[in-house]
A and B are shown apart, each in its own frame.
Chain A
Amino acid sequence: MTNWINLILRKDLLIAFRRSSTYITPLIFFLIVITFFPLALGPNQNLLSSLAPGIIWIAALLASLLSMETIFSDDYRDGTLDSFFISLEPTFLLVLMKVAIHWLITGLPLLIAASLASLILYLPFESFLPLLLSLVLGTSFMSLLGSLGASLSLGKSAILSAIIVLPFSIPTLLMGTAVVTSAALGQDYNGFLMIMGAMLAIGIPVISLLTVEALQLNYE
């Protein structure tokens, strides 16, 4: 099983690296959104600083939506998904691997870009670490949700996965923004982080199993 997991990781990461649009498109989109806000709102530091948590989180959320459709679509189209189902390996492990790969390709670059975003939007220094922590938890959860949306919209319009995922991402957005805003105001943000952690902890088994069922629906 370890060998199988390594194979999937290596294969998908290699393909993603060679298809640069997979990781560059969400990153560019994120940076465009972040840089357009100061252009539109003006260079007022206090205004940008107060809006920074929401702007960064909205940009991260929308950026992660861009690549969700690709989580299973290529494998479905070229028949690789069939071989996963035939392989006698647990399908939920495949789902978790795909989620992890999606996060590595899209979530991790967003974390790095968020550092730049915090400078552009004058985010207070004390909010930087909470921002990163909330983004780690939030983007991971978004990748998980994205796998469910992608499996439900397999073979259909790409926008469908985004439509499915968006309503369920609102709690993540609210909690993520609350973490950063609380940190900026000097308040305790641990409670919000714990809620995000709990969402992820519950989401990992529940959403991955739902995703397996959704994938199997495509075969009926």
Chain B
Amino acid sequence: MFPNLKVENLSCVRSETTLFENLNFEVLPGQNLEIIGSNGSGKTTLLRVILGLAKQESGKLSWLNSDNNYETFRTFNCFYQGHNLAIKNLLTVYENLYMTKVSSKLTDEKIMLSLNRVGLTRSNEFAGNLSVGQRKRISIARWLLDDYKIYFIDEPFSALDNEATSLIENLIEELNDKGSSFVITGHRPSNIVANRIDI
């Protein structure tokens, strides 16, 4: 099995402080990686460096292409959920999902299935009127709209109740069975099956 992503000797410096150095790991299909660290340890920065949203000091990122060769640039679509959930307050729940960029045409049925799966029933409600937890469910519903090879989720379990936490754990397991991988960050280990890195 070829890893979709290989990280070799990755280092990052911010304001003359080394956040992490010489990190090595692989993300295999259907397997998860959990990055554990305290506040300010560089968890979010690591995700952003991998996705090209932040600069790395040194190291190599290798992405698998369709010919099973490795490129230094990403060749497939990934899902990224940061602290800011990319949710538009002036769009309804339904519209926020409908206007997500996916590789194939989004049908009403698919959107409603995703919303039902995450327990959101008020699809015509403006996202700005929802609670933090409900807005997070919108972002989780996006996970189901396309076939992403890797999901990069920054602190997926923060600000969630037990029910929502179980929902995410079950979803991750389902998507793992379909071959998708999750790279998530957190302050402490979660209940999902994952390799762990401490930074």
Contacts and interface: CB of A to CB of B under 8 A. Distances in A.
Contact of B54 (A79, A80, A89, A219): A219
Interface stretch (A9-17, A148-156, A191-199, A200-208): A9-17
Contacts of A80: 86, 88
Contacts of B77: 87-88
Given A86-B80, A87-B77, A78 B88 contact: yes
Chain A interface residue count: which class?
20 to 34
Contact of A78 (B52, B78, B87): B87
A3 B77 CA distance: 15
A7 B80 contact: no
A24 to B, nearest CB: 15
Q: Is the interface of A mostly helix, strand, loop or mixed?
A: helix
Interface residues of B, number: 24
Interface string B156-187: 00000000000000000000000000000000
Contacts of A219: 48, 53-55
A126 interface: no
A83 B51 CA distance: 10
A80 B139 CA distance: 12
Contact of B51 (A14, A74, A86): A86
B91 A14 contact: yes
Contacts of B53: 82, 85-86, 219
A11 B86 contact: no
Interface of B: 48, 51-55, 74, 77-78, 80, 82-88, 90-91, 95, 99-101, 105
